[in-house]
Amino acid sequence: MGIGCSLAAAFVIWLFKRPKNSSNGQTVRQDASPTMTQNFQPVINIHPPPAPASVPGSGAETSSGWEVRYPGRIADVSIRSGPDPHLQRFAIGEDFTFINSSPHEVSLSVTFQIDYGNTRPAHDPYNLPLAEWGPLLTAFGISSKRQLQFPLNLQPRSAVEGHIAFAIRPEGAGHGVGGDAPDQRRYLFEFEDLLSKQKVTSTASAVVAPDKSNHQRHYETDLAQPGPKAEPFIINTVPPNSIQSRTPDLVEEEGMLWLVADNKRTGPYCPTCFEAEGKKISLIEGATQGTYSCPIHHSQFWSKDFRNRASRSFRP
């Protein structure tokens, strides 16, 4: 019995240890390192890091090669022309810098948004050049920089800086639809690349009404409400018929201004520039005798002699 069991066990062990044959009677040997039958070409996917997202109100917002830098102040100022009781009110976003580091031209638009809590209406920039821009900035202690106008075209790898003006009603921008939340008031500038439609938002951190008499003093203001509390910048204007009363040596002849001294007449000067800013801007004489033009606003002026010659040349 014991011998039979031992023989059976030995037969089972031999059965499992014997080599296996292939269909053609050859032994198949396994190899841990199989032969490569094709050339192996590794592929590496490289993903560039994402562009940094703009953070509203961080002072420097970027998008697709162009950048906006804004320290965050808005000046609430107003202008009044002589005895005219009506005011022109402006919100001036100060000290913007636009940088285009790309090799392509960028054209930007801007809207000024006042947050009422539930609504955020947008205002377009004041794109007409203000003749009194320089004196206005000086009067309220604002740094002397250009008035930026939009669309703002940035040449490749260039930078532009200046202020942006927005016209605001003297009684305020109004009330938001669905109510107003003055304690949650925010002021934002949204810039958009007109070609790529990419947008960048800058948030104002201070809105003040500077005092004309003391530039270190500022009044609280809310562009949605009537204001500002500071005195307006007054433009001294005189009716056209009173030009000669302003200075005895400056006379108006043939629609132009002339300076008379020691019985000698010099000029002519532009009457429009003199009325607007009190500056004597010399007119440029044209190629035809008796014709003049203003180098500032390019208005045309004709002498009496030129008019007479022109009328005779057109007679039948």
Task: Write the DSSP symbol of residue 289.
Answer: T
Domains and CATH numbers, the chain: 60-235 (2.60.40), 240-313 (no CATH)
- % of the chain surpassing 90 pLDDT: 40
Average model confidence (pLDDT) for the chain?
79
Nearest 10 degrees: CA dihedral of 274, 275, 276, 282? -20
Q: Give the pTM.
A: 0.59
Highest mean pLDDT among 27-36, 86-95, 267-276: 86-95
Burial 164-194 (b: 16+ CB within 10 A, else e): bbbebeeebbeebeeebeeeebbbbbbbbbe
Bridging pattern class, strands 233-235 and 73-81:
parallel
Whether 70 shows a pLDDT value over 70: the answer reads yes
Residue from 215, 115, 114, 211 nearest 168 by CA: 114
pLDDT at residue 177, rounded to an integer: 75
Instruction: Please identify which residue in the block is written with the tokens 């919100």.
Output: 91
Condensed to tens digits (0 to 9), the pLDDT of residues 272-305 reads 888 777 778 888 888 888 888 888 877 788 887 8
